[in-house]
Structure 1
Amino acid sequence: MKLTIVGGGSTYTPELVSGIAHQYADLDVEEIALVDPDTERLEVVGGFARRLLDHAGHPAKVRLTADLEAGADGAAAVLLQLRVGGQAARVTDETVPLECGCVGQETTGAGGLAKALRTVPVVLDLAERVRRIAGEKAWIVDFTNPVGIVTRALLEAGHRAVGLCNVAITFERWVAGKLGVAPETIALDHAGLNHLTWVRAVRVDGVDVLPRLLSEHAGELAEHVGLPAEVMRRLGAVPSYYLKYYYRHDAIVAGQRGPSRAEAVSEIEHQLLELYRDPSLVAKPALLEQRGGAYYSEAAVRLVASLLGDKGDVQVVNVRNGATLPFLPADAVVEVPARITGAGPVPLPVAPLPPAITGLVAHVTAYENLALEAALHGGRDRVFDALLAHPLIGQIDQAETLADRLVTVNRDFLPWAAA
């Protein structure tokens, strides 16, 4: 089969290629197409990808192209991992909100809205072109942030799409390491929205070990998610590390006054590309671990293998809500365990969430509705509406200022703003 990676020039692509080379022998990949408009960067990343496969003895061929149609032709699955505007846009996503005293993060709050405004129209255009050339049966796996909003846009446009995040698998592997058990023995009661999830049970061979984790590994768990262990005990759940932006907003903002994460990632990427140019490099460099996206390659390969192989196993994905969380609209996109079949993911039933969680989930869902409207239809006022609805902003003066600033700094990527 053929797999296509849009954004194939990313320095993270070798993680995906390594995952294909070393996992899931039953995923019969014959060709990996890397698609990226930056052909110089694509050559560097693609050359290293070929060496990884050759060194692993994997027969798949790597094709490099800037032409989406050529890359997607005949693909069984297309993985989206693009960043519209590159790291330069990420810098503004992380720094502009700080000017108004709001958290500066590329997927959460005002930064996440800016990313959605730039990204949703581009992804929808790409997906429509993929559908025309690869057909209705090709799967689109979206790792492009903000995953929940982008996945909802794809589903509403009728695409065969699944959203994927690495938060659940990262926690799964953390638990496996602490308890000394195999990851495949772990099942997470994981529920919420993308980057707004709580784990309410951790079952190892059917036995819930969350109380043990909160008792024996409280300090390490608190460090892992950036929140006090006592809060987790009171909630009876482990929030994802993105919840610290909500639960500790002011403290996080106070600590974000130094160099941005985007600047650090830019430097890491520069160093990685230099390493990838070395023709003797045939294994992932240790520096790649600092790039971010831990375990995404494993999650992505596992998901594609299950979709194409109709395996029926359970994985945490972003999927249409339906009746899964009954307090949300059916067309919302939620992040929950789902059975992965050849026809798509089927979300599993979720036990009722407590008010401390449902209130915030409903609030952010309302924001995501408005964010998608702004991304699809444009308009400074729609941007303001979304900002005012976001629980991390929610004040008129801040929303007014941020609406103007976000439109201005992203003008080159917003056709409606340039008119």
Structure 2
Amino acid sequence: MKLTVVGGGSTYTPELIDGFARLRDTLPIEELVLVDPAAERLELVGGLARRIFAKQEHPGRIVTTADLDAGVDGADAVLLQLRVGGQAAREQDETWPLECGCVGQETTGAGGLAKALRTVPVVLDIAERVRRANPRAWIIDFTNPVGIVTRALLQAGHRAVGLCNVAIGFQRKFAGLLGVAPADVHLGHVGLNHLTWETGVRLGGPEGENVLPKLLAEHGDAIAGDLRLPRPLLDRLGVVPSYYLRYYYAHDEVVRELRTKPSRAAEVAAMERELLTMYGDPALAEKPALLAKRGGAYYSEAAVDLAAALLGAGGSPYQVVNAVNRGTLPFLPDDAVIEVQAAVGPNGPVPLPVPELDPLFAGLVAGVTAYEELALEAALRGGRDRVFRALLAHPLIGQYAYADTLTDQLIAHNREHLAWA
């Protein structure tokens, strides 16, 4: 089995490598290719990756290359984890929206749209080259904004599934609180990427006992603390929102916070410099503890599980993924991409039935889905007016004066990445 990671020079790649090494019985990789144009980073990350495999006695071969076509040639699965424009572009995404009093975040609001516009054309080019190399290869997208990028891939006819680590984080958290194995926790996870709620927590599978009321009653304070939302809000909602819902439920509070502290991009950039220094140490043969602060917890385990299921090597029968709607949420278009529990196998994901969604949540999902449709149109076709329409549609923006100003700023800060600008 050959697996290729595009964006393999990321400082987060050792987390992925550690998962591949530990879970080799689930996903027996014979050749792992790390593709990245940043030669110096790739050399450091690749060296540590080989040492991790060697220490854990993984028999697979690790190859590093800047040649995308060679890297994906013959791959059974290709994992995308790239960041067009790097941390410098992320820094911009997190700052200029604040000037209008709108949240600055790399996947939500105006910053998320900027990332989508930079990313979608690049990902579609990569996917076409994967298709030429192996039409049966699966593309696993971890590149944000996952929902929009996955929708672009699926609309272009690619064999693609979107992956996010939010659900597996909740699964592990709830399992710890309940004192059970993570595999025993089945989430009623529903919504869009970075816009989801846990509407149920069942033990043993989709038909198991729903222990969400017990979780909220006994551990509501801890859960609310992790989400940085008030406990009474969780009690009134009766569900557990993802931490990204704080951008909606406490928008103005978040904006005030963001205006008074360094951006997350600046924090991550400093962390990456330290990590790369560590990776250059030939004695290091495991992922350093600092990597846990980088973000993306449990990503490697989710990626292994998904790849194994898609390639027929095993994996969990039910997994939370980003997949095409096809009537699962009847108030959305069939071609919308949703994030829900699905049965996953070699033919791809099939979303499980979802109980009727409370209008309080369904309304927001519908609004953001409309924004994502307009965002994808802007990413594919370009043009100032399409950018403006997407921003005007976003629930966190919505006012024409803000949308006008943010459109101009988005284009000014991303001109080098927009072929039409």
TM range (shorter): over 0.9
Counterpart-to-counterpart distance in 1, 2:405 and 2:199? 38
CA contact (8 A) 1:310 1:341 kept: no
SS in 2 for 1:103: coil
Question: Which residue of the partner structure matches residue 243 of structure 1?
Answer: 245
Q: CA deviation at 1:158?
A: 0.2
For 1:225 and 1:345, the matched residues in 2 are separated by 29
* Letter paired with 2:310: L
Give the aligned partner of residue 364 of structure 1: 368
Retained in 1: the 8 A contact 2:151–2:336? yes
Aligned twin of 1:25:
25
Match of 1:406 in 2: 410
Q: Which residue of 1 aligns with 2:389?
A: 385
Residue 126 of structure 2 corresponds to which residue in structure 1?
A: 126
- What pairs up with 1:94-133 in 2 under 5 angstroms? 94-133=94-133
Deviations 1:233-252 (A, max 9, x none): 22221110000000000000
1:271-303 per-position Cα deviation (integer Å, ceiling 9, x unaligned): 000000000001111000010001111000110
Q: CA separation in 2, counterparts of 1:286 and 1:347? A: 36
2:26/2:313 contact within 8 Å kept: no
Hey, what's the Cα distance between the residues in 2 that align with 1:64 and 1:154? 25
Contact 2:325 2:335 (8 Å CA) reproduced: yes
Q: What pairs up with 1:296-335 in 2 under 5 angstroms?
A: 296-309=299-312, 311=314, 313-335=317-339
> How many angstroms does 1:26 deviate by?
3.7
1:284 to 272, 278, 287: 287
Deviation at 1:24? 4.4
Q: Is the 8 A contact 1:24 1:305 kept in 2?
A: no
SS in 2 for 1:410: helix
Equivalent-residue separation in structure 2 for 1:11 and 1:179 (angstroms): 33
Tell me what 2:201 maps to. 202
Distance in 2 (alpha carbons) for counterparts of 1:60 and 1:13 = 16
Alpha-carbon deviation of 1:226?
A: 2.0
Amino acid at match of 1:281: L
Following the alignment from structure 1 to structure 2, what is the Cα–Cα distance between the partners of residues 60 and 320?
33
Q: Distance in 1 between matches of 2:388 and 2:225?
A: 35
Partner of 1:219: 221
Partner in structure 2 of residue 157 of structure 1: 156
**Are the equivalent residues in 2 in contact too, given 1:222–1:229 (CA < 8 A)?**
yes
Unaligned runs of 5+ residues in structure 1 are none
> 1:332-343, aligned counterparts within 5 Å?
332-343=336-347
Alpha-carbon distance between aligned partners in 2 of 1:415 and 1:77, rounded to the nearest angstrom? 29
Deviation at 1:207, TM superposition (A): 1.6
Which position in structure 2 is the counterpart of 1:189? 188
Q: Which residue of 2 aligns with 1:254?
A: 256
User: What residue identity is the alignment partner of 1:57?
Assistant: E
**Which whole-Å CA distance do the structure 1 matches of 2:27 and 2:395 have between them?**
42
Q: CA deviation at 1:264?
A: 0.0
SS in 1 for 2:311: helix
For residues 24 and 210 of structure 1, the distance between their equivalents in structure 2, rounded to whole angstroms, comes to 33
Query: 1:27 Cα deviation (Å)?
Result: 1.8
Give 3-state SS (helix, strand or coil) of 1:255's partner.
helix
Amino acid at match of 1:140: I
Equivalenced residue count is: 416
**Are the counterparts in 1 of residues 26 and 304 from structure 2 also a CA contact under 8 Å?**
no
Unpaired stretches in structure 2, ≥5 consecutive residues:
none
Q: Look up the match of 2:179.
A: 180
- The Cα offsets for residues 143-176 of structure 1, whole Å up to 9 and x where unpaired, read as 0000000000000000000000000000000111
Paired residues of 1:151 and 1:163 also in contact (CA < 8 A): yes
Q: Match of 1:396?
A: 400
Please list, as runs of the form range in 1=range in 2, the aligned pairs for 1:83-98 lying within 5 A after superposition: 83-98=83-98
* TM-superposed deviation, 1:229: 2.1
Deviation at 1:310, TM superposition (A): 6.3
Letter in 1 for 2:396: L
Range 198-207 or range 380-389, more displaced? 198-207
Contact between 2:320 and 2:341, CA under 8 Å: does it hold in 1? Answer: yes
Q: Distance in 2 between matches of 1:24 and 1:248?
A: 42
The percentage of counterpart residues that share the same residue type is 66
TM-score by length of 1: 0.98
Alpha-carbon contact 1:310-1:342 (below 8 Å) kept: no
Report the AA paired with residue 14 of structure 2. Answer: P
